Structure 1
Amino acid sequence: MFPNEMQILQQLAVLVVCRSLATGQISSRYFFPQKPMPWVKGREYCQSHFVDLAVLNTEEEYSALLSAIPTNNASFWLGLHKKSSGWEWTDGEQLRLTHWYNYNHEGHCVSLEAMFEEKDKLLARYCNEQHRVVCQGPVSPQSVSVDFVNIDHVNLSWNISALMQTTSHYYNVTICSFICETLSYFYTNGSSLMSISVSNLSAATEYFIYVSAVVIHLDHGTNRKWILQDNPTTLKAKTATSNKTHKIFFIVSNSFSLVLLASSFWCIYHIVKKETVQDTSSVDSTIAELLPHRSGSEKLENVIF
């Protein structure tokens, strides 16, 4: 695919996302309510309006949150609290990050201190303190696998994070070739793996595929429905060549081979034939030279033995 074609497909995908935003859809992973509250109240608020308090299981997620924070003069509760087994995120994962600014053994809840200049901004605090919160939105899959490719469909699969396994959600799958189409696949079985089949595709065609996690929440104060969508995971897949195309190519290829073979035999035949005629003429000339010359007046009976 040419670079300008790729750019056109990406622009089409952006148009699809913009259309969704125009209908009340918010594309983000982290949200920052203004009102300070204790850790428990903050978690209840995030679960009611989004997914949960922010969970940062990887360095990439930690860096992404630091880049998204809207202010550098506030403390934000995270979905990290102390249990008998140690520090644990609200999705059940153990803490693997080591970005403590100051470890407080008495605090059982953790905030992220935006005002600290250092990258290490985690601070253990008393859970009843009043701070702003970072709410976690839906989380798209980190990667998507292409499990099977046919002439008119592809099978895709991805892992479901522990946070999303406990949240009612679905996935928007936008597939683009010359046009873009968005399909929705609901997550219902509580499994850690999601598998889908995208059908009605064209043979031997390269597609750009965008997979986004989506959560719907109803604002009880305004009765307005909010659709929260994470940034999509992107991949490429190409459908297989159709059997009909293979068959036509096979027939044309075989016919062309037969024509070449027949032409080769025709040339060889004429070369051999020409050489045979030349060899025959040469033999006749040699025989004629070896025979005795007879004049017309000589008679057979005059020859004396």
Structure 2
Amino acid sequence: MGKHMNTAVCMFPNEMQIHQQLAVLVVCCSLATGQISSRYIFIQEPMPWAKGREYCQSHFVDLAVLSTEKEYFALLSAIPMNNASFWLGLHKESSGWKWTNGEQLRLTHWYNYNHEGHCVSLEAMFEEDDKLLARSCNEQHSFVCQGPVSPQSVSVDFVNIDHMKLSWNISALMQTTSHYYNVTICGFICEMLSYPYNNSSSLMSISISNLSAATEYFIYVSAVVIHLDQETSRKWILQANPTMLKAKTVTSNKTHIIFFIVLDLFSLVLMVSSFWYIYQVVKKKSTERVGGRLSAGSAIVELIPHRIGLEKLENVIF
């Protein structure tokens, strides 16, 4: 995958913790005016279901898709008003209820299930959590647009001294949308790189280079969609909340070599010191032995003249 050449770099002290790095990420890597970071955008102007979807596709990604319970309740908590009906990206096909990304409906939060309606709204005025209602697609209601979706998780496929390879699965919704990914990697500095998604594959793989050996990095991956408003010529930049992971590059071979050289030198010094100690001990012992023999010889030499004198005296007498 290619990457845009423009980068954003921010310096921060080495001792900062992850929450400080996140703050740097927000300050240094924020986009220009027109950025929308919310995943769900509520449009108050009433439209039929098809018109609402067309608007969402022109300005955002699509009508809101709620694949999981977590997404459903996240949308409920974000509703700006409690007296409206909002179209969702859920409609009825011959095979059953499907979201606009092709996924089957797995939620069961029907307020009132009926067979007449072919499009689904979320009824904010209902007090219970079951707020899905099938309606005629020609009715005019407010609607919820879907922003870009960052990967749920990112895998580290390969790590070397100065580079690593990452990959992640792309949701069905994002596979049909022109977008790119901002990848911000923070070590001693934060650097943001952009990688375009230019095919319909369900897997994205990238390679990040020019890293430092034996360094821990915090990496943030965000999906980004850009739309140009035809009426105002204003560029809208939609960036999803980032997915974060942590990875560490391996130790340099040079570091290993230096370590073993130092270890060998230390072993050599110990060996030489041991030999020197043994030499000094042996030398001392040898000196003590030689000194003992010299003392005995001196005693013999001192006795010999007396003996010679006695022999001469005996010769004289006899």
TM over 0.5: yes
Aligned to 2:189: 179
Aligned to 1:11: 23
Give 2:98's aligned amino acid: E
Q: CA–CA distance in 2 between the matches of 1:92 and 1:279?
A: 100
- CA drift of 1:257 comes to 2.1
Q: Which runs of 5+ in 2 are unaligned?
A: 1-12, 293-305, 312-318
Q: Which runs of 5+ in 1 are unaligned?
A: 283-294, 300-305
Q: CA–CA distance in 1 between the matches of 2:134 and 2:285?
A: 101
The 5-angstrom pairing of residues 1-305 of structure 1 reads 4-18=16-30, 20=31, 22-268=32-278, 270=280
Q: Are the structure 2 counterparts of residues 75 and 265 from structure 1 closer, same or farther at C-alpha, using a change threshold of 3 Å? A: farther
Give 2:170's aligned amino acid: I
Q: CA–CA distance in 1 between the matches of 2:199 and 2:63?
A: 23
The 10-residue stretch of structure 1 (113-122 or 89-98) with the greater mean CA deviation from structure 2: 113-122
Q: Which secondary structure does the structure 1 equivalent of 2:201 belong to?
A: coil
TM-score (norm 2): 0.82
Q: Are the structure 2 counterparts of residues 296 and 91 from structure 1 closer, same or farther at C-alpha, using a change threshold of 3 Å? A: same
Q: Are the structure 2 counterparts of residues 172 and 274 from structure 1 closer, same or farther at C-alpha, using a change threshold of 3 Å? A: same
CA contact (8 A) 2:49 2:139 kept: yes
- CA drift of 1:273 comes to 6.5
- CA drift of 1:95 comes to 0.9
Q: CA–CA distance in 2 between the matches of 1:123 and 1:12?
A: 43
CA contact (8 A) 2:14 2:188 kept: no
Aligned to 1:303: none
Q: CA–CA distance in 2 between the matches of 1:102 and 1:254?
A: 79
Q: CA–CA distance in 1 between the matches of 2:115 and 2:274?
A: 90
The 10-residue stretch of structure 1 (158-167 or 58-67) with the greater mean CA deviation from structure 2: 58-67
Larger radius of gyration: 2
| Runs of 4+ displaced beyond 4 Å | 268-282, 295-299
Give 2:94's aligned amino acid: S
Question: Root-mean-square deviation (CA), in Å?
Answer: 2.9
Deviation per CA, 1:201-222: give whole Å up to 9, x if none.
2222221111111111111121
Give 1:260's aligned amino acid: L
Q: CA–CA distance in 1 between the matches of 2:173 and 2:81?
A: 26
Q: CA–CA distance in 2 between the matches of 1:266 and 1:112?
A: 89
- CA drift of 1:2 comes to 8.1
Q: Give the aligned length.
A: 295
Q: Which secondary structure does the structure 2 equivalent of 1:201 belong to?
A: coil
- CA drift of 1:188 comes to 0.7
- CA drift of 1:262 comes to 2.9
Q: CA–CA distance in 1 between the matches of 2:254 and 2:181?
A: 34
Q: CA–CA distance in 2 between the matches of 1:279 and 1:7?
A: 75
Aligned to 2:3: none
Q: Are the structure 2 counterparts of residues 116 and 264 from structure 1 closer, same or farther at C-alpha, using a change threshold of 3 Å? A: farther
Aligned to 1:285: none
- CA drift of 1:46 comes to 0.7
TM-score (norm 1): 0.86
Deviation per CA, 1:31-76: give whole Å up to 9, x if none.
1111011111111111111111011111221122122221222111
